[in-house]
Amino acid sequence: MIVAKTRAELRIKRHELIVAYHKANLSRPVVGIVPTMGALHAGHSSLIEHMVRECDLSVVTIFINPAQFAPGEDYDTYPRTLDNDLRVCEQAGVHLVFAPGKDEMYPADYQTTVRVAGLAEQWCGAARPGHFDGVTTVVSKLFGLIQPDRAYFGQKDYQQYRVIERMAIDLELSVDIVPCEIEREPDGLALSSRNRYLSPAERAAAPRIYQALTRMQELFAEGEREVARLIASAGRLLNDGPGPLIKLEYFAVVHPRSLQARETAEPGDRVLIATRLGKTRLIDNVPLEG
Ligand code: AMP
């Protein structure tokens, strides 16, 4: 596995890998990318394994993108575990890891922002101003550098997946955006690099987020369609019992593509939730099946 830390190194190594593949196979490789911020866990591994199965050349990027953290967020304390991340990539069969520093991605004369209007302004975009501008900007740069045919994103960050899909359509980027299933702990908590911030009491309470989501699915399956009633019933589970408070930032049923809030739920809609446990912000989501 090759590790590139600069854009120049990446371009050369990518080119060499493509030429070698072409010589051996007399065809162009399908290039895949999994963009990450590192601190890799089983959620990332499932994206990486999905890519390795489907692509001829597999690239993982590891970059804690300062542009997607608002002032006062956890950029400085975000976990950095590069040695372990490289082992995970190597074992999964990744060919190339790009792990640049922040000055490498944003040199002093850097000036451009990529913004998806509308879709990126609601939900997490409203709670974290500028967050999605940082995401779409860095993902555009990574697409430009790696020129992937397929890019793998977790549905854990459902809005991010839809925002990037929109960007790829609007900017005519010839890359398939591939959504991947959410990986969870046995108790239902969605895996996240930020779960390690939780105190033992917060960790014990955190599975209630997924319990509220699955309650929503059950109520929907039983025929309830009125969103206000669905939210009121399922929301009660969040702070049912002892332990720290789960503060709700938003809890909504939305159209799966436009992410517009619904008053009456329909099959195929998505339930989105964002919460705070102490200082830690946790998000999750589930589909409503017909
Ligand atoms: P991050 O390193 O947090 O930027 O995440 C990198 C990619 O991994 C994103 O596409 C995330 O949606 C995805 N991801 C993070 N957690 C999970 C999870 N629990 N299940 C599936 N994908 C995930």
CA of 3 to the centre of ligand 1 (A): 21
Listed in sequence order, the DSSP H helices in the chain are 7-25, 42-54, 82-92, 102-105, 124-127, 131-146, 158-170, 200-205, 207-221, 227-235
CA of 200 to the centre of ligand 1 (A): 23
Ligand 1 binding pocket includes 36 (Cβ within 6 Å):
yes
- pLDDT on residue 65: 98
Catalytic residue among 15, 22, 41, 44: 44
* Burial status of residue 200 (CB atoms within 10 A of its CB: 0-12, 13-18, 19 or more): exposed
At residue 243 the predicted structure's pLDDT band, cuts being 50, 70 and 90, is confident
What's the count of helices (H) and strands (E) in the chain, helices before strands?
A: 10, 9
* Over residues 30-44, mean pLDDT: 98
Ligand 1 mutation target, pool 45, 62, 143, 157, most atoms within 8 A of CB: 157
Long-range pairs for 109-116 at CB < 8 Å and ≥24 separation?
112/137, 113/137, 114/140, 114/167, 114/171, 116/163, 116/166, 116/167, 116/170
The torsion angles phi and psi of 242, rounded to 5 degrees, stand at -75, 180
What tens digit of pLDDT does each residue of 123-180 get? Answer: 999 999 999 999 999 999 999 999 999 999 999 999 999 999 999 999 999 999 999 9
Give the position of tokens 């009633």.
Answer: 229
Query: Rounded mean pLDDT of the chain?
Result: 97
Residues 222, 228, 234, 237, CA torsion sign: negative
- pLDDT on residue 237: 95
Q: What is the distance between the alpha carbons of residues 209 and 273, in angstroms, rounded to a whole number?
A: 8
What percentage of the chain has pLDDT greater than the value 70? 100
What tens digit of pLDDT does each residue of 51-88 get? Answer: 999 999 999 999 999 999 999 999 999 999 999 999 99
